[in-house]
Amino acid sequence: MLVLMITATVLLALNHRRHCWDGLDHRSAVVAALADTVPAAVRKLTAHELFPSTSFLRWVTHRGPHGVHAGDLPVPYAPGQAAVTYGFLFDGSLRLRYGALLDIRIPADRIASVRLDRQFPSDKLAAVNENDVTDMAVAGQTTTTVEVTEPVRYIRALGKPTEARTFRFYAGDAAPVVAALRAGRSEGGLRPQAGRR
């Protein structure tokens, strides 16, 4: 283990120096060196492990969930779970997040339909099945289905790019989510919602 850590540190330092020679500033060189040295899957898993601690700090300091702004409608997936998971509407799109592993943004103008729809999928997190459906289940179930007019591309949990035409996700209280999405569609686009849930 010690040999691996020393090897990774040396490679990181060499990559950092190379990027500095190429003209990047220190911070950009560190980011580029990490991208060169640490595989994408390892970076995502590490970020996912660190995410709950940053969410806890935000809760302690009364700052609210990360990335949620005034007027947004955060929709908790499962408040009782350790992983902080949110799908929320903001600034003209639907954003589905699962900790630091997934962040899917669906533009409002691509949403064709939305409905309450309890399903019990068996697929892996955000894997796309043969019908171009991706599931973000919590406790083995989803409660909301969103269909889009054209495929939406996103990066899966371990870094593989893919796309889907239907997104099913879990919301603790799905009815307000469906109502907000339908209202946004009928007005020609999603609008930020007043108040938070």
Question: What's the pLDDT tens digit per position in 66-114?
Answer: 566 666 666 665 554 433 344 444 476 788 888 777 889 898 889 999 9
**43, two tokens:** 């970076």
pLDDT of 39 over the 80 cut: no
3-state secondary structure of 195: coil
Q: Where are the domains of the chain?
A: 2-60, 73-186
In this prediction, residue 196 has a pLDDT band, given cuts at 50, 70 and 90, of very low
Lowest mean pLDDT among 10-19, 87-96, 176-185, 188-197: 188-197
Strands (E) in 59-110, as ranges, are 73-76, 86-90, 93-98, 102-107
Averaged confidence pLDDT in the chain: 76
Amino acid identity, residue 118? R
Q: Which residues fall within 8 angstroms of residue 150, CB to CB, at 6 or more apart?
A: 110, 165
* Mean pLDDT (whole number) for 121-136: 88
What value does the mean pLDDT take over residues 134-138?
A: 89
Collapsing DSSP to helix, strand or coil, 110 comes out as helix
pLDDT digits (tens, 9 = 90+) for 4-25: 778 878 888 888 888 889 898 9
**Cα 16 from Cα 194, distance rounded (Å):** 45
23-31 average pLDDT score = 88
Confidence at residue 75, expressed as pLDDT on a 0 to 100 scale: 65
Question: Which range has the worst mean pLDDT, 42-51, 112-121, 173-182?
Answer: 42-51
